[in-house]
Amino acid sequence: MTRTILAPDALGPTVCVGEILVEIVATTIGEGFREAQPLIGPFPSGAPAIFIDQCGRIGGGAAMIGAVGDDDFGRVNLDRLRRDGVDVSGVAVDPDFPTGSAFVRYRADGSRDFVYNIATSAAARFGWTPAVEALAGRAGHLHVMGSALAMPGAWTVIEKTADAIKARGGTLSFDPNLRKELRYDAETEARFARLVTMSDLLLPSGAELERAAGVDGEAAAVARLFELGVGEIVLKRGGEGATCFQPDGTRVDTAAFAVEEIDPTGAGDCFGGAYVACRRLGEPAETALTYACAAGARNVTARGPMEGAGTRAELDDFIANTRRMS
């Protein structure tokens, strides 16, 4: 049974920094948005918001730093986060810019086309305010999504929040969460590399493991990341489950759950939110991985990026009644 290296939940909530969006989803399969088509939404969204919502729903202390517009799209997000136990005292409401948005359409091969409005929306207009400073001063853990690194001004907030939390004995987790639609310049890449070395827990998917390590091959990448100072690695494998790697060579593998996929957006974010919350609540990696896989799988059974996020009781029921992949 693997002990957690993350700061206990009692130290203060897990804080996530980044974009808060609404998502509008095409109800047909096709090649993007070049013609009129039926859409459904708005759904509360944004990778950091999905992560922290699942963290709150499963019972972990949870708080969000970001910004929304003074509009119904912003209220959709704030209402959802508050309902699910997330502290939104660090979320600014911008009177001049609209809430960020993401339009998504699925292709026949399961890939996705996104049209984002982040940089010119309220989503990118947050900073180091007295409210954010107060939240950082009582938090116990910081979770960062790689998507936030493409947002102007986010790095200052991430850096200062990390410093405040680390000074209290808190910890940091990082999900590379790379998006082909977002631009990553040389400065962003340097920040990405720094976050890897700062991470107590790294949560990559697929090729993100090798990119974070800067070397090819799973075993070599894992070894390199531990050399860089990462404390724990959890590799998300989608339909093949997940693996937790420890510096002492301990490895825990967990099978995925067999579900009918309706909407895959948010699965990895729910996985991360459940895993971090469970580890901070004292669960061993074996248990946390099971809940994380269940959270990701349950979320894809509902349309909307966080509509399937589960409470502890809902995930217990899901685990008890859902077949595991062999």
What pLDDT digit, counting tens, does each position of 216-246 carry?
A: 999 999 999 999 999 999 999 999 999 999 9
pLDDT > 90 in the chain, percent = 80
Contact 40, 106 (CB under 8 A): no
Question: Structural domains in the chain?
Answer: 45-99+118-321 (3.40.1190.20)
The pLDDT confidence band at residue 202, using thresholds 50, 70 and 90, is: very high
pLDDT at 179: 59
pLDDT at 188: 81
| 180 or 122, greater pLDDT | 122
Query: What distance in Å separates the CA atoms of residue 314 and residue 279, rounded to the nearest whole number?
Result: 18
Alpha helices in 199-311 (DSSP H): 208-213, 218-227, 267-280, 285-299
CA 102 to chain centre: 16
Q: How many helices (H) and strands (E) in the chain?
A: 10, 13
Query: What distance in Å separates the CA atoms of residue 217 and residue 45, rounded to the nearest whole number?
Result: 33
Q: What integer is the mean pLDDT of 182-202? A: 84
User: Does the pLDDT at position 2 exceed 70?
Assistant: no
Summarised one tens digit per residue, pLDDT across range 119-162 is: 899 999 999 999 999 999 999 999 999 888 878 789 999 999 99
Burial of 156 (0-12, 13-18, 19+ CB in 10 A): exposed
128, 164, 177, 197 from 133: Cα distances, Å: 7, 8, 25, 24
Q: What integer is the mean pLDDT of 9-37? A: 94
pLDDT at 81: 98
Summarised one tens digit per residue, pLDDT across range 58-115 is: 999 999 999 999 999 999 999 999 999 999 999 999 999 999 999 999 898 888 888 9
Mean pLDDT, all residues of the chain: 93
User: Does the pLDDT at position 178 exceed 80?
Assistant: no
